[in-house]
Amino acid sequence: MGVSGAKGNITRAISKIRVKYTKEKPLRFLTHLEVVSAIRQAVRRASLPVCISSGFSPQPKISFGPPLAVGYTSNCEIFDMEMFRRIGADEVEKALSSSMPPALGIISASSVPVISKSVDLLVNVAKYSVPVGISVSIAEQKIKDFFSAKEFLIERITDKSRRIIDIRPLMVYMKHSDGKIEMLLRFGPQKTAKPDVIIQKVFGLSDDEKFGLLINRDEFFCETANGELREI
């Protein structure tokens, strides 16, 4: 039964499904809001029993992970759906796989506790990778210089502000492997930096080289208070 034919209280969740999906190269220039819209349409097409918010403008109760920068690809994006009736995660995965647009591919669906934190509050570390045309020796020296520095300042520019931040505490690790730079990067309120800006600054890339980077988000983690990393 789809939402349109539902009976009873469709505002109260009795289960929650977490979906992991990809954002592939053909859609890498979609904005976060465009991706959200595409997923909501796919959920409607799949006729899933997703709860609806109460109020003047009801919306499906779907919460999304941290926005992916325009131009990036990913194989670890996440959204949670609150469901007003129980449905198997495998059934959700099958239904969404048939209704999602090409290049937004479903990886998995799993049940999580209804009271679990919203995914955007849970995630605070992400792994990124990007192919680079930099020799191993130069890359390793640049990375060594980065971690030897007490601070590493970059300018963070948004639509509303322009400020200098120290990215050294944000970097869990960075390495050169198989022609790629891999980095594990912390983020959160007032402490976010884009990987392409970091790579440009660390490795001395030109603006043209920066714009040509193909950055992929590989994994999400939750870093606990004692420094333990838990994959989401």
Residue extents of the structural domains in the chain: 3-120, 123-231
pLDDT of residue 1: 38
Contact 103, 74 (CB under 8 A): no
Note the pLDDT of residue 161.
73
On average, the pLDDT of the chain sits at 92
**Residue 8 reports pLDDT greater than 60:** no
* Strand, coil or helix: 196: helix
Q: How far apart are CA 128 and CA 140, in angstroms?
A: 17
Q: Tell me the CATH number for domain 123-231.
A: 3.30.70
Give residue 2's pLDDT: 43
Phi/psi of residue 208, each to 5°? -65, -40
**What's the pLDDT score for residue 9?**
66
The CATH number of the domain covering residues in 3-120: 3.30.70.580
Q: Please state, in angstroms and rounded to a whole number, the distance separating the CA atoms of residues 36 and 52.
A: 16
Same fold? 3-120, 123-231: yes
Residues of the chain with pLDDT > 70, as a percent, come to: 95
